[in-house]
């Protein structure tokens, strides 16, 4: 259970309290669902109206800027600026100015890292094929995948595997979900944060992956209250996608079905079944670990 200072009298008050026990001043939790929607709009607005024009201008000045550099700039500005804005809002409203970067139970680390791999390759990947998409979105995703596959340098790695997981987790788990869990039921809080996490990726394919892994990260955050735990999951999920181009010819595979890329329907079914079994196994073991130290239930 976290303790913060009352904004009125400065006395210690639990983040679960509705009023300050010293002066009766109403405690404010942030964000609510409506405020979470606004938070997501801030992220989208910065990406669309600040970062996109800046990148367009930079490309006019220097058309040779690598795609990895573009993605890194977009991540640092498009997610970093909203992160700073909502951090300041939360601190002003609740007087909470820190994040929990500790993992009390270290036994969960290999499990949360491992589960991100089948979650991406064998569950999110096949699900994306089932999502109806317009030709515009399909072509946009196609071009983005080809660009990313053509630039697997250090800047792309930093953007996808380091910068994005840290900044996005600070916003969507460290601030948004943390606040929602203080107001709503765990199920409602996790569903809202994971759906909004999917929406801000701005395309159907990433919405599916974002919402899916967002739900899993929300469940882990509820039980651990650790931003570091969800950063590790997010980084592992993105690393799996980053590494795919080292094992397949993306230019050849981009116009093939998932089953064709895997070499046939038998391999496709085996991957899905194996991924589901591995994911459920890790979730079962994680549940056992959370039962031993139910930090989320006490926070």
Do 153 and 161 form a contact (C-beta atoms < 8 A)? no
The confidence score (pLDDT) of residue 90 equals: 93
Give the torsion through C-alpha atoms of 80, 82, 83, 85, to 10 deg: 120
d(CA 215, CA 236): 15
φ/ψ of 203, rounded to 5, equals: -150, 150
The confidence score (pLDDT) of residue 235 equals: 97
Do 47 and 78 form a contact (C-beta atoms < 8 A)? yes
What average pLDDT does the segment 122-127 reach? Answer: 90
Token pair, residue 46, equals: 């910065």
Say how many Å lie between the first and final Cα of the chain, rounded: 4
Query: Which of the residue ranges 74-78, 145-149, 238-242, 259-263 would you say has the lowest mean pLDDT?
Result: 145-149
d(CA 126, CA 78): 29
Burial pattern 234-251, b for ≥16 Cβ within 10 A else e, equals: bbbbbbbbbebbeeeebe
Token pair, residue 27, equals: 């405690």
Integer CA distances (angstroms), 145 to 31, 67, 124, 137, 160, in order: 34, 11, 16, 12, 13
d(CA 191, CA 172): 12
Do 161 and 238 form a contact (C-beta atoms < 8 A)? yes
What average pLDDT does the segment 255-280 reach? Answer: 92
The confidence score (pLDDT) of residue 25 equals: 52
How does the average pLDDT of the chain come out, rounded? Answer: 87
Token pair, residue 24, equals: 């009766």
The confidence score (pLDDT) of residue 297 equals: 44
**pLDDT-based confidence at residue 13 (cuts at 50, 70, 90):** low
Cβ contacts of residue 13 below 8 Å, gap of 6+? 3, 4, 5, 6, 20, 21, 22, 27
Instruction: Please give the share of the chain, as a percent, with pLDDT higher than 70.
Output: 90
d(CA 95, CA 135): 47
**pLDDT-based confidence at residue 24 (cuts at 50, 70, 90):** low
């Amino acid at each position: 259970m976290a303790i913060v200072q009352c904004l009125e009298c400065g006395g210690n008050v639990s983040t679960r309290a509705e009023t300050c026990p010293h002066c009766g001043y109403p405690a404010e939790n942030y964000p609510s669902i409506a405020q979470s929607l606004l938070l997501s709009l801030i992220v989208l607005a910065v990406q669309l109206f600040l970062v996109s024009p800046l990148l367009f201008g930079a490309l006019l000045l220097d058309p040779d800027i690598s795609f990895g550099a573009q993605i890194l700039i977009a991540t640092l500005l498009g997610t970093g600026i909203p992160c700073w804005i909502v951090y300041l809002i939360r601190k002003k409203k609740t007087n909470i100015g820190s994040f929990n970067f500790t993992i009390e139970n270290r036994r969960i680390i290999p499990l949360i890292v491992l589960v991100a791999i089948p979650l991406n390759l064998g569950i999110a990947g096949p699900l994306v094929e089932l999502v109806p998409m317009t030709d515009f979105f399909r072509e946009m995703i196609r071009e983005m995948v080809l660009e990313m596959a053509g630039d697997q340098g250090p800047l792309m790695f930093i953007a996808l595997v380091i910068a994005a997981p840290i900044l996005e987790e600070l916003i969507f788990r460290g601030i948004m979900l943390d606040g929602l869990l203080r107001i709503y039921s765990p199920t409602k809080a996790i569903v809202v944060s994971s759906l909004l996490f999917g929406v801000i990726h701005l395309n159907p394919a990433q919405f599916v992956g974002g919402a899916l892994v967002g739900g899993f990260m929300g469940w882990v955050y509820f039980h651990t209250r650790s931003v570091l735990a969800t950063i590790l999951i997010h980084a592992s999920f993105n690393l799996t996608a980053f590494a795919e181009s080292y094992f397949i010819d993306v230019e050849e595979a981009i116009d093939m079905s998932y089953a064709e890329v895997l070499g046939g329907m038998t391999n496709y079914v085996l991957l899905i079944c194996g991924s589901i079994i591995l994911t459920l196994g890790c979730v079962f073991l994680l549940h056992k670990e959370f039962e031993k130290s139910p930090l989320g239930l006490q926070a």
